[in-house]
Structure 1
């Protein structure tokens, strides 16, 4: 689960196939709850966690996927993925919410609040999906881009506001999306990154995503007359798993929006000037710094020159600690780095502050060639084993993953 703050046994540790720690109705009866753990609780248990947590850290747009060691890429590629949405008093999922705290963002999952899981898939001339697990470990790219499993779908919209939760569920491809009205690039409101609402919306005309990243945007179709067709296009060129190469003029059509009707009911949704307060960054709490180097080790991918060892933690971190991690890229490769267990805050990219849309809480950071990124991360509430890895899933499966234990 990206990146629901949960106990180790529900986190998707790459070497765990069943719980060795807990027994209960769901773990002792074959077939009951399929003998697996739910994302929130042990299967067969219903105990609520203590407290509601810090509302400044509440998550919204999450997704989950298979995380089996050595097989993650092909399992995700074949569709073992899903979205998972959370709501609270602030982001309540009700645009008519009378609660003065409620943001009243466009609501109605599947109507005015839409999840767009975007994956590229390779098809052969017969229309069969192709994947070769024995190919080079650069990262698999497809020849077609799908949205929720469909190639170049269209979506009939009303002249009102819609919320779109865009998830890069590809195994290796980066995207840069533009909303095109003919030859004009249209603005929209950017409200969340990696499932975390920003403090304030940003007016933007592009969304760049690395594998595993998410962005929530709001498009106001009331600006467009009936009959307008807008197209979400990807303009980021990428020929192999090395990473993006730059923008192309026209791009590839991903999703078409057809403005076909006026609102059936009044549009009471809004995008307020303030969204969710962010916890302050307090460097005085830092107890340790760690350095993580992402590079090749012969023909394999490595972290600090070491291949993934499922049995051996590379770090043992006391619960309650706050640390600064330096993530260092090398050569001509991009690595989207995903840290399990806790969201982090980006402190700097090559010594400079992150752009506004990356100044909130995140769980994936795209590490560019030879780039150095510093992040602040806390280790609270739970103990156990967790991982950090490259979310180019070929890189992950070929050992660019590291285990850390919270003790």
Structure 2
């Protein structure tokens, strides 16, 4: 279903010509010169969102040289320039520097994190200090911070969780990394020299990515890792240093940003709401309290050591909240309205490890609370020696080796090249001991199904950032949906020094709607699949015996689920995800037309509008939501922001819920024609949040809705006004639509 490797030169020339013609349309569309309605009017795109197969425009079109080739990338095959698989080491994530704050009495003192910059100190409400705005963005002046102003978008519980750590990042075009910090010595990073500049490329034998092709945190590779621990509140300052001119985007992507800390338990002002984006030249201060759920209503005397944070002395600082809400592996990414797929694909994604009294990141501490999962032992918390973050993503590039994307495949863009931590099919050196791998599906539309090449066991300990009640031993992981995280443990002591073993992808795609088929391990290794992302994609090299004895454990009990059975159910809601959406609003900023949409409680299938309120559970209540797939020809990994849920039933039955889905989750795979029933409670913070398909192409076209938590006290209104960002400042307007069933 892809152009085969042995395709004729004539066919490749046709495909490359089509790619160039398509690139012109992509550029015009991405820069706002034309709209999707224009393409429909001109007969270039169907109302369902598919590019019409016109010869000389689409590589999907048959010709004299090939019949009915379907190219899911919509592009010619990505050239490898002679590069071979498993010939470069995988770089570990780049650990972001953490800077200490000097807290004051209710206000922020001058901060060592931001020296010599008067007026730039973080504030509870948005910093509206004015600065000049470039003419291409409308001129005049605008605020230095893009956060919506006033008390409604002030940092909630600012004084309860006063920031003690500052992390400052930029978003900018690709450049060499001269400050790489893997958090471990080179001997534990496959020999990579951290003092040598890392070029912005997917392999040393591939071209550098240009500053308009790849937009990453700090402009560098590898992806960034944020380190946090419970109740150590982080002020995450994100500077937008992307090109001021929106046409300077390399053909796709938008220069406005909204950073979503995926699964974060904090106020909506820090959630990366899709309509709270900010512009080049501005920053946005995100406040991450990192508190357990129920902080203001459960275990208020902080007597349970399981609900705590690791301190620098190796002990535990006890905290309020419910230890059963402990989270471990998050990630953060752009959530710009209708451009999430493009911006994340361009490199706007990082990971976030959170440490707790349960999950200490120190395998040696044996105090009866610490689970002693594989990590290391030299630091009191957060050792990364044997705790490794992996970001999986399929990519594609053009004939010049520059990152490329077909933004007209509204079913879901698929690349034809596998990357791990944004490098092409790498290897990783390991010792003969246990390792923890935190695996993120950072793709746009591709699902992965992972096994080891020798069919040996994988121990799954967490999903979606949450420790499971008990570990699950598998020889093949379940399909990993976009944005899902699976934490697994692999015991390499079963191998000999000099052995190799590979991670293998079993999920075959023909298009971006869903996996076409899950292959057997033998089939995936045989090379019979036409999907170039099936098969071996990551090589482990067992290089030595452990330098020190492996004292890590995988205990039989990890983290039980909260018991919600005694909390009354305040409301039940049904959301159906499918095609054929209509748009009932017309605001040019907040609304979007697309083939995908969501029904709420049996109403019309509606396309996205972040001004429309589709649900509004009350603060302090519990609800049951049923998520339904409106068709059998696609799959949707549904993400609900802010609150985790527990799955009560799959397709109407608890017995259909497998062991690895019986922990807490924030992404719910519906499966073709299926449904998932979940329960959630709404506590601690309020504001406007989102629910959407995390096939980001579906989300952008336009399978997304807004919901909000109201009656939380403080500045909260009912309903909340919608922010409308401009470079000159954010204004507020009334919601464009409120579904009659939203407020109960």
Deviates more, 1:242-251 or 1:209-218: 242-251
Aligned residue for 1:333?
A: 634
Query: Per-residue deviation at 1:245?
Result: 1.6
Please, which runs of 5 or more residues in structure 2 have no aligned partner?
Answer: 1-260, 290-294, 297-318, 377-382, 525-533, 582-593, 600-604, 711-744
Query: Per-residue deviation at 1:306?
Result: 1.1
- Contact in 2 for aligned 1:90/1:101 (Cα 8 Å): yes
Q: Which has the larger radius of gyration?
A: 2
Give the one of 184, 188, 192 matched to 2:458: 188
Aligned residue for 1:257?
A: 540
Tell me, in whole angstroms, the C-alpha distance in 1 between the residues paired with 2:549 and 2:287.
Answer: 37
Tell me, in whole angstroms, the C-alpha distance in 2 between the residues paired with 1:189 and 1:313.
Answer: 41
Find the residue that maps to 1:313 and give its secondary structure: strand
Aligned residue for 2:360?
A: 92
Spell out, residue by residue over 1:221-261, the C-alpha distance to the aligned partner (whole angstroms, 9 max, x if none). 01111111110010111111110121221242121001110
Give the one of 481, 488, 498 matched to 1:217: 488
Query: Per-residue deviation at 1:284?
Result: 5.1
Find the residue that maps to 1:357 and give its secondary structure: helix
The equivalences for 1:24-35 within 5 A come to 35=283
Tell me, in whole angstroms, the C-alpha distance in 2 between the residues paired with 1:37 and 1:219.
Answer: 38
> TM-score, normalised to structure 1's length?
0.91
Tell me, in whole angstroms, the C-alpha distance in 2 between the residues paired with 1:179 and 1:110.
Answer: 22
Give the one of 413, 420, 429 matched to 1:147: 420
> TM-score, normalised to structure 2's length?
0.50
Find the residue that maps to 2:435 and give its secondary structure: strand
Spell out, residue by residue over 1:109-163, the C-alpha distance to the aligned partner (whole angstroms, 9 max, x if none). 5420000011110123432211132x12111100011110111110110000000
Find the residue that maps to 1:215 and give its secondary structure: strand
Query: RMSD of aligned C-alpha atoms?
Result: 1.8
Tell me, in whole angstroms, the C-alpha distance in 1 between the residues paired with 2:545 and 2:697.
Answer: 45
Aligned residue for 1:397?
A: 700
The equivalences for 1:47-126 within 5 A come to 52-108=320-376, 109-126=383-400
Find the residue that maps to 1:394 and give its secondary structure: helix
- Contact in 2 for aligned 1:4/1:59 (Cα 8 Å): no
Aligned residue for 1:201?
A: 471
The equivalences for 1:338-377 within 5 A come to 338-353=639-654, 354-377=657-680
Tell me, in whole angstroms, the C-alpha distance in 2 between the residues paired with 1:261 and 1:234.
Answer: 26
Query: Per-residue deviation at 1:8?
Result: 0.3
Aligned residue for 1:245?
A: 516
Tell me, in whole angstroms, the C-alpha distance in 1 between the residues paired with 2:358 and 2:277.
Answer: 36
Query: Per-residue deviation at 1:283?
Result: 6.6
Tell me, in whole angstroms, the C-alpha distance in 1 between the residues paired with 2:393 and 2:447.
Answer: 10
Spell out, residue by residue over 1:275-331, the C-alpha distance to the aligned partner (whole angstroms, 9 max, x if none). 112212417521110010111125521111111121121112110111111111022
Tell me, in whole angstroms, the C-alpha distance in 1 between the residues paired with 2:616 and 2:675.
Answer: 23
Aligned residue for 2:576?
A: 293
Mark the CA change 1:284 to 1:319 in structure 2 (over 3 Å): closer, same or farther.
closer
The equivalences for 1:217-236 within 5 A come to 217-236=488-507
Give the one of 244, 265, 285 matched to 1:5: 265
Q: Which has the higher strand share?
A: 1
Tell me, in whole angstroms, the C-alpha distance in 2 between the residues paired with 1:39 and 1:159.
Answer: 40
Tell me, in whole angstroms, the C-alpha distance in 2 between the residues paired with 1:230 and 1:111.
Answer: 20
- Contact in 1 for aligned 2:275/2:337 (Cα 8 Å): yes
- Contact in 1 for aligned 2:361/2:384 (Cα 8 Å): no
Please, which runs of 5 or more residues in structure 1 have no aligned partner?
Answer: 20-29, 42-48
Find the residue that maps to 1:36 and give its secondary structure: strand
Tell me, in whole angstroms, the C-alpha distance in 2 between the residues paired with 1:367 and 1:340.
Answer: 17
Aligned residue for 1:381?
A: 684
Which structure has more relative contact order (CA 8 Å, sep 6+)? It is 1
Tell me, in whole angstroms, the C-alpha distance in 2 between the residues paired with 1:283 and 1:309.
Answer: 36
Tell me, in whole angstroms, the C-alpha distance in 1 between the residues paired with 2:508 and 2:576.
Answer: 26
Query: Per-residue deviation at 1:343?
Result: 0.3
Find the residue that maps to 1:323 and give its secondary structure: strand
Aligned residue for 1:307?
A: 607
Tell me, in whole angstroms, the C-alpha distance in 1 between the residues paired with 2:352 and 2:340.
Answer: 19
Query: Per-residue deviation at 1:341?
Result: 0.9
Tell me, in whole angstroms, the C-alpha distance in 1 between the residues paired with 2:511 and 2:350.
Answer: 25
Mark the CA change 1:125 to 1:186 in structure 2 (over 3 Å): closer, same or farther.
farther
